[in-house]
Structure 1
Amino acid sequence: MPGESLDIALGVGLARCKDTRTVRTIGTLSEVGAWEMLFAASAVTLAVGVARRQPRTIAVGRHMLGAGILASLVKTTVKRLVHRSRPNVVMETGRYDRGWFGPNDGPRQSFPSGHAAVSVAVARAVGRACPEARGAAEVGAGLIVVAQVLRGAHYPSDVVVGSLIGLAAEAAVNHLSGPGTAHRESAA
């Protein structure tokens, strides 16, 4: 497939700098986008809101947690259906694999990017509930997404699909919360 070949070439090409000090540092910092970190931040936000009886903080934490969980469930389901070698594995071994219902091991779970899915979902939830934080949340998620390609963990299409999963998950959670709920509660 011509599109896949371009995606692989671009991913491997961009990851050539993965061992530089700058990209290693960016990669380490991008781990704030791991689902464990984002779920913890979401749960802490919700708990602080409950403890302080702050409806806006409760709404933000609930929305972050719901969007993150849904994005994670979708990306995990897709990862179990599709296997694809990560760019760093291709660079090390010279071998690229992809297929259906493959092994569920990290080196072959490039598609889609979980960091992108959950980071975008949580950032969008924060931005919707707290418009004043929207820019910072979006920039943070964007940097996490880009870092995944530079560090050789994902191809460009992996992070694009992961980002779309994140956007869709947040939109679904927002819709299920009721039209405008996050916005109304953030004004409280």
Structure 2
Amino acid sequence: MGKKKAVKKAAKREHDALAPARALAGSDAVRALTPLAKATDEPPLLALGLGTLALGAVLRRPAIARSGARMVTSHLLATGLKTVMKASVDRVRPNEAGDRPTVEKGHGTDDTTRNAFPSGHTAGAVAIAEAVRHELPGAAVPARLAAGAAGALQVTRGAHYVSDVVAGAAIGWLSERLASWAMAAAGGAVERRVEARAEAETEAHPS
């Protein structure tokens, strides 16, 4: 079996297995939880990060400001990565696929019904949750549960397949790790500059 046929077969199998979840899409319970899905869209999550950053600056609380900066950086990275992947893979969303699910090489389509892979909502939610966990370990469990619930809701809404959500979660996790590395590197550079300046001043004005 060729690679393309294997991918199509796997996609059809996942689509069929998702039928019970798709049947819940129009239920009152899923509709009631829709605001949670909306809350993990790009603008709200970015606003949350920027708001946290601004709050830390106003209150002069470096830890809060750093948490906001980590949230914003992680989210921007997740958004960039998922955008690249969405342009690379054409996948019709479960609620639009009918009985013919498709997974093909991407053509950079702007058709939102064909860019199911990966789940951008999940990527952003996990990136923010991991950023919160990094700065506030005590909030790790509720933050991760909220991100997990947001991802699961994408499946029950018929917006994404499970594999889309898993890929989105991986992107969010990786984005936060990259953001942490970048912030640590930037912080180290600043510290070295401060130390070098202090040494220079000491040499210029020995006691």
Q: Same fold (TM over 0.5)?
A: yes
Q: Is the 8 A contact 1:68 1:122 kept in 2?
A: yes
Alignment of 1:16-165 (within 5 A): 16-91=23-98, 94-102=99-107, 103-165=109-171
Q: How high is the sequence identity, in percent, across the aligned residues?
A: 32
How many pairs does the alignment contain?
178
1:6 deviation in Å?
2.4
**2:17 and 2:133 mapped to 1: Cα distance?**
31
Secondary structure in 2 matching 1:62: helix
The unaligned stretches of length 5 or more in structure 1 are 182-188
| Residues 40-91 of structure 1, C-alpha deviations (whole Å, 9 max, x = no match) | 0000000111111110101100000000000010001110111100000024
**2:78 and 2:13 mapped to 1: Cα distance?**
27
Q: Is the 8 A contact 1:12 1:152 kept in 2?
A: no
The unaligned stretches of length 5 or more in structure 2 are 1-5, 188-207
Q: Is the 8 A contact 1:120 1:167 kept in 2?
A: yes
Q: Which amino acid aligns with 1:138?
A: R
**2:154 and 2:104 mapped to 1: Cα distance?**
21
Q: Is the 8 A contact 2:91 2:115 kept in 1?
A: yes
Larger Rg belongs to: 2
Q: Is the 8 A contact 1:10 1:155 kept in 2?
A: no
1:171 deviation in Å?
0.7
Where does residue 202 of structure 2 map in the other structure? Answer: none
